[in-house]
Homo-oligomer: A and B are copies of this chain.
Amino acid sequence: MKMESTKPKSMEELNQYLQEHGVKPSYQRTRIFEYLLNHMTHPTVDEIYQALSDQIPTLSKTTVYNTLKAFMEAQLVRMVNIEDHEARYDVDLSTHGHFKCEQCSTIYDFELDMTQLKNEFLDTFLIKERNVYYQGICNQCLSKSKRH
């Protein structure tokens, strides 16, 4: 099953997807994965916890941490460390870079052709993960400040 489509997924579909990827589904895990699918804005642990604890009053923040760790190990999510001291999570596993706007704090995804980057030095290295983080001011904030 592909998770790319924007069509809402049923709990059954999500459970099956988790199982296929070696993660035993549970109510909490499924709901957390569902949240990540519906909020591809690189949420933090706290954002996930706050959003879901309304609907799942017993939810523990530890569970969110444990679940994201399990997702990471199963390679279902990617950690985004563009901010200091706050891990963010991304279900979009396609190759892309992240741009963080200093003003509005939005994190944008952008396409990235890594194959363009040749590097002889790393030829003898085993590269498992590539992260590209840019920072600056996004076009929205730029046009806002121009208007004043």
Contact = CB atoms under 8 A, between A and B. Distances in A.
Interface of A: 79, 81-82, 84-85, 87, 97, 99, 102, 108, 110-113, 116-119, 121-122, 124-139, 142
Given A87-B84, A131-B133, A132-B132, A119 B110 contact: yes
B117 A111 contact: no
A102 to B, nearest CB: 7
A83 B131 CA distance: 12
Contacts of A108: 121, 125
Given A108-B125, A116-B118, A132-B132, 12 more contacts: A99-B122, A99-B127, A102-B128, A110-B121, A111-B119, A113-B117, A117-B117, A122-B134, A124-B142, A126-B137, A127-B135, A131-B133
A111 B116 contact: no
A139 B124 contact: yes
B113 A125 contact: no
Given A117-B117, A130-B132, A99 B125 contact: yes
- Please provide the 10 A-B residue pairs with the shortest distance between their CB atoms, ordered closest to farther: A124-B139, A128-B136, A129-B135, A126-B137, A131-B133, A127-B136, A116-B116, A126-B136, A110-B121, A127-B134
